[in-house]
Amino acid sequence: MNVTIYTDGAARGNPGPGGYGAVLEYIDPKNQLHVKELSAGYRRTTNNRMELLGVITALEALNRPCNVTLYSDSKYVVDAFNQHWVDGWVRKGWKRGKNEPVKNVDLWKRLLQAKAPHAVKFVWVKGHAGHPQNERCDELATYAADNGPLLEDTGAEL
């Protein structure tokens, strides 16, 4: 099963109120497009945490192993996989250069678990550049941040 996912995260202040948005698309064997949108807002969080939660929530919504092409405007997320930063962090016990702890480890671990059953290709797309699904994800994320209900980001170390 081939699925295309678009994600975005937003925060009003860093930290501040935030939200994520995700759009999942699947074309069934009858050539019918199925679209699912996901979003949620948080009281106090960061942009990077919302970028991660958009990806996590989308992958967790899949109910069987899939081939996923995931588009994000977050270099933080895309480069972590395409540049193999995550591999190094795991190998070093969640430490990065100069033996500093990786931020958002709770979400990185959750993302790795959500990603495990799938074959995921991460693709960077420029944000706010008119890409329809990326723009929709931004709308979902900012609406969730601005209009709630706002959840607690319990893993955030702010």
Active site residues: 8-9, 51, 73, 128, 138
Q: Is 8 annotated as a binding residue?
A: yes
- Spatial distance between the Cα atoms of 7 and 117, rounded to a whole number of angstroms: 19
Q: Is 73 annotated as a binding residue?
A: yes
DSSP conformation class of 157: -
3-state DSSP assignment of residue 142: helix
Q: Is 146 annotated as a binding residue?
A: no
Q: Is 153 annotated as a binding residue?
A: no
With b for 16 or more beta-carbon neighbours within 10 A and e for fewer, the 36-68 pattern comes to eebbbbbbebbbbbbbbbbbbbbbeebeeebeb
Annotated binding site for Mg(2+): 8, 51, 73, 138
Annotated binding site: 8, 51, 73, 138
